[in-house]
Amino acid sequence: MLRLGLIGHPIRHSLSPFLHQAFAEACGHAVEYLLYDLKPHELPDFLNEFVHVGIGLNVTAPYKTDIINILKSIQPHVLNLRAANLLWLEGRTWHADNVDGLGFSKAIDRWGPLLEGSDVLILGAGSVVASILPELQARCPHSITIASRRGSNGLCSQSKLPSLCAPWSECQISQLNRPYDCVIQATSAGVLGERLNIPDIVFSKDTKVMDLNYGVAAKIFLDHVQSLGVSDVMDGILMLCEQAALSYARWTGVMPDLKKIYASDAFQQKAFFKLSSRLFK
């Protein structure tokens, strides 16, 4: 039995156990994937104890940054991002990586918007934004604007991320005053049941919109966007599945076939996968 899990808070809404059980069944593995809702002071002892029973963990908010200060063996690019979401054991030593960026990249490739020469807006300025920013830059957009409710939080000035094709700028959401070709919603507003007060001018009927949340957490934002006439929308399930598959491959050495898994009865019966299922047909 391979013992895996997710650490974070709150996490009872997570689909990760369902996804990894589906991966295990498709790959012929015996896997137990559990949710560990931890308080900050519990992290060090939990990691020390899990060494004896498990092989790997995913990390979600609010501990993606905290985990960097606990572990010793960390990939260089993770140190630059200052966030990790994948842990695995080699012997009794924890190693950390971040597959949010690659998961996002794979999701964008499946979704299909061509970002070269486009104007991209990212809503939010947390650790996940630092993870996806290099992937967006590599697609050579015309511009990238990072807008948050409080304005600049130092992502531009303090980040060690390389400057690739496109520069980026930061502003407050209330300062947005023009339409964008692609909008990526990366705040926690939906998780908190809040609605972002985004100027409607940001969206045109041709804007491509992705919310990195999923389920109820993405519904408020995507419903509003669609009410403005935007038709090409995507939630965060696609990115979640891609980064989950990358995690599973790291732990087991086997990459799950997402197309085959999406076609399974278990996936088809879940409303969560409605938006992204069309991309696997």
pLDDT in tens, 233-281: 999 999 999 999 999 999 999 999 999 999 888 888 887 788 888 888 6
- State the Cα–Cα distance between residues 210 and 163, nearest whole angstrom: 23
Evaluate whether the domain defined by 2-99+238-280 bears CATH number 3.30.470.20. no
One fold for 2-99+238-280 and 114-231: yes
In this predicted structure, the answer to whether residue 101 has a pLDDT above a threshold of 80 is yes
Q: Does the reported pTM lie above 0.85? A: yes
pLDDT band at residue 125 under the 50/70/90 scheme: confident
pLDDT at position 167 is 64
Domain assignments of the chain as residue spans, ordered by start:
2-99+238-280, 114-231
pLDDT in tens, 28-55: 999 999 999 999 999 999 999 999 999 9
What mean pLDDT value characterizes the chain? Answer: 90
Calculate what percentage of the chain has a pLDDT beyond 70: 94
Q: Kindly list the distances between the CA atom of residue 131 and the CA atoms of 80, 138, 159, 243, 248, in Å, as whole numbers in the listed order.
A: 10, 13, 11, 12, 19
Q: Domain 114-231 is of which CATH architecture? A: 3-Layer(aba) Sandwich (3.40)
Mean pLDDT of 120-137: 90
Cβ-Cβ contacts under 8 Å for 164 (sequence gap 6 or more):
134, 137, 138
pLDDT at position 94 is 95
